[in-house]
Amino acid sequence: MLKIWSSPIRSGVRISAGCVALALSGASIAQAAVQTPAPNPYRIVSPPPALAKHAMVVSIHHDASDAGLAILKQGGNAVDAAVAVGFVLAVVYPQAGNLGGGGFMLIRMHTGDAHFLDYREKAPAAATAGMYLDAQKNIVPGLSTSGYKAIGVPGTVAGLVYAEKTYGKLTLAQVMAPAIKLATEGFILPDEAADNIRTSRNLARFPESRRLFQRDGSFYKGGDRMLQPELAATLTRIAADPATFYKGAIAEELAAFVQKGGGLITPSDLAAYEVRDRAPLYGKYRGYDIVTAPPPSAGGIVLLEILNMLSGYDLAHTGNRVADIFSKTMTGVTAYDVSRSGDRTPQQVHLIVEAFRRAYMDRANYLGDPDFTSMPLQQMADPAYAAAWCKSIQPAAPSPSATLTRPAGFLPAPSRVPAASAHESAETTHFSVVDAEGNAVASTYTLNGLFGSGVTAGPLGFLLNNEMDDFTSKPGVPNMYGLVQSPANAIAPGKRPLSNMTPTIVLKDGKVLLVLGSPGGSTIITTVANNIVSILDNGLNVQQAADAPRFHHQYLPDVLQVEKAFPLSVLDTLKAAGYAVSRNDEADEKNPGVWGDSEMIYIDPKTGVLMGGQDQRHKFGKAAGY
Ligand code: DON
């Protein structure tokens, strides 16, 4: 259609059959436009990545990264360090770090052995498909997001204990020691956390949460030391006898507390909880191997679909840029001129967004807990399917979501899912670890919303999740992330809600190259995809990729969402091409103008130097290495 932007889609070395026609049709636009290359005004102000020779831990909180590093120096491996980080974040990052939530840990040992530990929450036995609907079958606002009925059976303690016992080298007591110390002696509360605690409506609803986190209205300030004696006692009990959380005294106390508040969790729900040690999903992108999250996360399969579609385009050459920067920047540590890459050029954003849109359409229709639902995963990950999808991508215009037709002959017929509106995301947290042997851990865990359900488990001193909102409360009605979902993700007793969390490890010639993941609800998968493209295609270093302004599309609502730092001229070009856009420019509690948190490690394949990308959106994280 219009000559909206001046960047060519060139036929790259890995162009797949389905995308050739498109690539060639893009070339005519390019030829006309290449005489007048528009400068790309886009800049990222990033510090150089942190460097280490042997091992590294990157997380959103410096106390957690330091604890992980100390465990590595004590002789622990990446799993020991990751478990230590997980427990410490439950103390120092209560917005998302947790004992009362759930998550995933992707482990890739240097031997090549890889495991995806699924410690996602489960629906209690008394849960029913319609539990968040009123008599008229309408969703009762807030019931799945706040308070006791929103709480799923927590998996974090089981997951961390399983990881430690199965893949760690140290003892549980050793890896829990830093968390117990920080809960007992206190830690210095960052400004952001103090603000989050002060403004959280969920926390304010519950007396125990007010007592513990808000000191009954006398709010913590940034710089205050926060002590958590109840949490310290609970951690000490778990370290001495981890079974107590699910089959002993803690299980009894927790269930009694939740039931008193009107929640569903019983001692037998806790006793029945089990971690799943699953096989990760594998895919390829530009010669790299992608190891990623299987269901019950939608993350990995949607990521692979996106990357399969993008494999059909020579993204490095979009934007009139020469992508000869790759080798130079990946070994160097100084900032370079990002504007010379295709990163965030209109043409590249357009292609990526169209891949996002199509892959999220499949998310909406097919995915759920693999223990309950059969899913066409192989077909979804088939490069031929991606190539067929690419045929519908226009060179310079959006494809409205309402008009998208899935390529025939690949997937079974889906259930129909109606339209939705946009929502913002809250909190989860991701951390990455690589040890000196080359073992790697990518871990993302969550309470779901900021401070989860807002309910603190009374004298046990820890917050409980609101993960039940990740289920389909009613097919076609969006959850708190604006995601519409299918009956495959309906609530059922003992079922795990569908997640987006996408802990991922990228390999080059069998060795770990990149460890990554992010929070951000529905934006998690696109954040991970953007990071992979920024690093592998565009040659950004890992810190620049973490800091680059994000963009997101999730099929429904049919809106291109961008962070407030996204270049306005690029946005204008995309608008002119027909995109409906939403820019997070007005910060408030629900919309901070940014999303996600990339805590990544890149290992230079030539030198073996580890580079940490600590997302500068949050000022209290750390890439700690030696
Ligand atoms: O599992 C999921 O996809 C969500 N519960 C994650 C929530 C999240 O990332 C919120 N954070 N920003």
Q: Determine contact, residues 220/187, Cβ cutoff 8 Å.
A: no
Q: What is residue 332's predicted lDDT score, i.e. its pLDDT? A: 39
Q: What is residue 338's predicted lDDT score, i.e. its pLDDT? A: 60
**Percent of the chain scoring above 70 in pLDDT:** 87
Helical (H) or strand (E) element with 357: helix 346-366
**Does 113 have pLDDT greater than 70?**
yes
**Does 304 have pLDDT greater than 90?**
yes
Tens digits of residue pLDDT in 395-409: 889 999 999 999 999
Q: What is residue 585's predicted lDDT score, i.e. its pLDDT? A: 65
Tens digits of residue pLDDT in 140-152: 999 999 999 999 9
For residue 521, give every residue at least 6 positions away whose Cβ sits within 8 Å of its Cβ, in sequence order, or none. 423, 425, 426, 428, 480, 481, 483, 500
Q: How far is the CA of 427 from the centre of ligand 1 (A)?
A: 6
Choosing from 98, 144, 446, 615 the residue with most ligand 1 atoms within 8 A of its CB, the one to mutate for a pocket test is: 446
**How many CA atoms, within 13 angstroms, populate the side-chain half-sphere of residue 142?**
7
- The mean pLDDT value for 303-328 works out to 72
Band of pLDDT at residue 592, cut at 50, 70 and 90: low
For residue 94, give every residue at least 6 positions away whose Cβ sits within 8 Å of its Cβ, in sequence order, or none. 193, 197, 213, 451, 463
**Does 240 have pLDDT greater than 90?**
yes
For residue 250, give every residue at least 6 positions away whose Cβ sits within 8 Å of its Cβ, in sequence order, or none. 234, 237, 238, 244, 460
Cα separations in angstroms, 396 against 22, 196, 354, 458, 579: 10, 41, 10, 56, 11
Of 19-28, 98-107, 346-355, the range with the lowest mean pLDDT is: 19-28
**Does 19 have pLDDT greater than 60?**
no
Q: What is residue 318's predicted lDDT score, i.e. its pLDDT? A: 73
Cβ–Cβ contacts within 10 Å for residue 129, how many? 18
Q: How far is the CA of 606 from the centre of ligand 1 (A)?
A: 35
Ligand 1 atom closest to the CA of 520, numbered from 1 = 12
81 DSSP 8-state letter: H
Tens digits of residue pLDDT in 519-578: 999 999 999 999 999 999 988 999 999 999 999 999 999 999 999 888 888 899 999 999
For residue 90, the Cα-to-chain-centroid distance in whole angstroms is 17
Q: Which of residues 508 and 37 earns the better pLDDT score?
A: 508
**Does 23 have pLDDT greater than 50?**
no
Q: pTM, whole model, 2 decimals?
A: 0.92
- The mean pLDDT value for 590-617 works out to 91
Q: How far is the CA of 542 from the centre of ligand 1 (A)?
A: 23
Q: What is residue 273's predicted lDDT score, i.e. its pLDDT? A: 98
Q: Are strands 560-563 and 581-584 parallel, antiparallel or unpaired?
A: parallel
State if residue 526 touches ligand 1 by the CB under 6 angstroms criterion: no
Q: How far is the CA of 278 from the centre of ligand 1 (A)?
A: 20
Tens digits of residue pLDDT in 348-376: 999 999 999 999 999 988 999 999 999 99
Q: How far is the CA of 426 from the centre of ligand 1 (A)?
A: 7
Nearest CA residue ID for atom 10, ligand 1: 427
- The mean pLDDT value for 263-280 works out to 98
Choosing from 501, 522, 598, 599 the residue with most ligand 1 atoms within 8 A of its CB, the one to mutate for a pocket test is: 501
Tens digits of residue pLDDT in 193-204: 999 999 999 999
Q: What is residue 10's predicted lDDT score, i.e. its pLDDT? A: 35
Helical (H) or strand (E) element with 119: strand 114-119
The catalytically annotated residue of 145, 318, 329, 428 is 428
Any catalytic annotation for residue 428?
yes
Cβ–Cβ contacts within 10 Å for residue 227, how many? 14
Mean pLDDT of the chain: 88
State if residue 429 touches ligand 1 by the CB under 6 angstroms criterion: no
For residue 327, the Cα-to-chain-centroid distance in whole angstroms is 28
- The mean pLDDT value for 292-300 works out to 98
Tens digits of residue pLDDT in 114-142: 999 999 999 999 999 999 999 999 999 99
Q: What is residue 95's predicted lDDT score, i.e. its pLDDT? A: 95
Q: Which of residues 211 and 32 earns the better pLDDT score?
A: 211
| Structure tokens given for 492 | 């059922």
Q: What is residue 27's predicted lDDT score, i.e. its pLDDT? A: 34
Band of pLDDT at residue 418, cut at 50, 70 and 90: very low
What distance, in Å, lies between the first and last C-alpha atoms of the chain?
A: 53
CA distance 133 to 480: 15
State if residue 554 touches ligand 1 by the CB under 6 angstroms criterion: no
- The mean pLDDT value for 499-513 works out to 98
**Does 217 have pLDDT greater than 80?**
no
Q: Which of residues 37 and 58 earns the better pLDDT score?
A: 58
State if residue 470 touches ligand 1 by the CB under 6 angstroms criterion: yes
